[in-house]
Structures are given as C-alpha cells and as structure tokens.
Amino acid sequence: MHSIEKVSQHILSSKLIPLFYENDIVVVVEVVKALYAGGIRTIEFTHRGVNALENFKALVALKNEMPDLFLGIGTIKNEVDAKNYIDAGADFLISPCFDASVADVAYMHKVLWIPGCMTPTEIHVAQKSGATLIKLFPGNVLGPGFVDAIKTLFTGVDFLVTGGVEPTAQNMGAWFKAGVAGVGLGSKLITKEVLANKNFEQLEAQTKELLALVKTIR
C-alpha cells in the first residue's frame, strides 16, 4: 500500500483525474485501458451501482498490468463502504461531502481521504480533521471565483474541483488560474456515446489530446 503522502503527491502531479461508473465489467476494463493508454495514471471509479464493489476489485486486479496506476473510489459517504473499498485495495477515497466516520476509517488505515466541500465552514472542518487535499463540489455551482476568494484562507490545503468542469482550455484554464491543483472529469470525457458505442480508441485519442491541453494551460 502506498503512503498517504505518496498518493497525495501523485494526484497533485496528475492534474487531471477521470471519474466514471459503469455496470458492465467488460466496458469498465476497456475504459480504464483506454485511459491508461492515453496517459492517465490516476482514476476515480465511483460507488454508484450494484456492481461497484465487484467491478472495483476487478480493476484492482488489473493493476498488475498497470503498476503505476493509482486507483481510487468516489462517492464514499459512510464508514462501511470506506472499509470495504480499503479492503479491496483502494489507493484513495473521495467523498461528495464531509463525514467524520469516513475520516476516522481512512486515517486508521492510513489511506488518503479527499472530502468534498462547498463552503468555507466545511473546508475548515475538513482541514481540522486532517484533510490536506479537498474536493470542491459541485464546481459548476461554485465557479473559479470561489477558489480565488478562499484559497488564501486555508494554507496547507490543496483543492481539486469536480462537477461541471468542461474539457476546454478556457474552462480548465480558469480553474487552474484560480488556484486548483487538479480537475476531475466524468461524463464530459467518458461520454454516454463512448460507453454505448464502445468507442475506446476515440476515448484514448481524446485523453491524449486533453492531457496535452492541460500541459499548455499549466
């Protein structure tokens, strides 16, 4: 298991984190392979369906072919799910909210936990609990101006943003300029069309283009 510090530094260096859920394990595996071939080394699978845990376990096994891939699980809102995914081999946990019981489980097992926050009060509580990496969610509601306004209030915290981030130079550039350390992209990258048509070559190509774009705006 990687240390919290190593996982955190890896995520911060990644800049771009794809996130998705899919029931069909064959599609799940092909999506991850396409993202990996496109240059992605950090992925968030989300706990949003009946097959989530079993599919995640299959992805952990797939990491034998991708030893430098860091695989996290998102949408973790209680200690039971946190423990199940830690036992399954999650490199990190992400939540849409702050939950003290999830924080306790994560820190007990020395696994990075990234809580989701929307207000300065939530960020303050999360930082007091030990969080050094916080997800701002939903990004399309908060906007880059929110980050610019509060970032100096919370030294020692790095911010990611998810929810409505657009895969464009203008949108991502605004977020990075405001001060986020990374952006999460879900259905804007792994679209319904890609999943339905199983167009994994297209996903790989778009991922390469997007990573190249991120380098130009960072």
Extract the tokens encoding 149.
């306004």
> Beta 16-20 vs 182-185: how paired, if at all?
parallel
Cis peptide before 67 (omega within 30 of 0): no
Phi, psi (5° rounding) for residue 87?
A: -60, -30
| pLDDT of res. 94 | 98
pTM (predicted TM-score) = 0.96
C-beta separation of 131 from 104 below 8 A: no
The DSSP code sequence of 121-160 is HHHHHHHHTT-SEEEE--HHHH-HHHHHHHGGGSTT-EEE
Extract the tokens encoding 158.
């790095």
DSSP label at 77? -
| pLDDT of res. 218 | 66
| pLDDT of res. 1 | 73
d(C-alpha 120, C-alpha 98), whole Å = 12
Among 168, 156, 195, 178, smallest CA distance to 16 is for: 168
| pLDDT of res. 80 | 98
pLDDT per position in the chain (218 positions), as tens?
Answer: 789 999 999 999 999 999 999 999 999 999 999 999 999 999 999 999 999 999 999 999 999 899 999 999 999 999 999 999 999 999 999 999 999 999 999 999 999 999 999 999 999 999 999 999 999 999 999 999 999 999 999 999 999 999 999 999 999 999 999 999 999 999 999 999 999 999 999 999 999 999 999 999 86
C-beta separation of 126 from 100 below 8 A: no
Please classify residue 34 by burial: count the beta carbons closer than 10 Å to its beta carbon, then call 0-12 exposed, 13-18 middle and 19+ buried.
buried
| pLDDT of res. 194 | 95
Please report the domains of the chain, with CATH numbers, ordered by start residue: 4-213 (3.20.20.70)
In which residue are the tokens 């100096």 written? 152
In which residue are the tokens 């809580």 written? 115
d(C-alpha 159, C-alpha 147), whole Å = 8
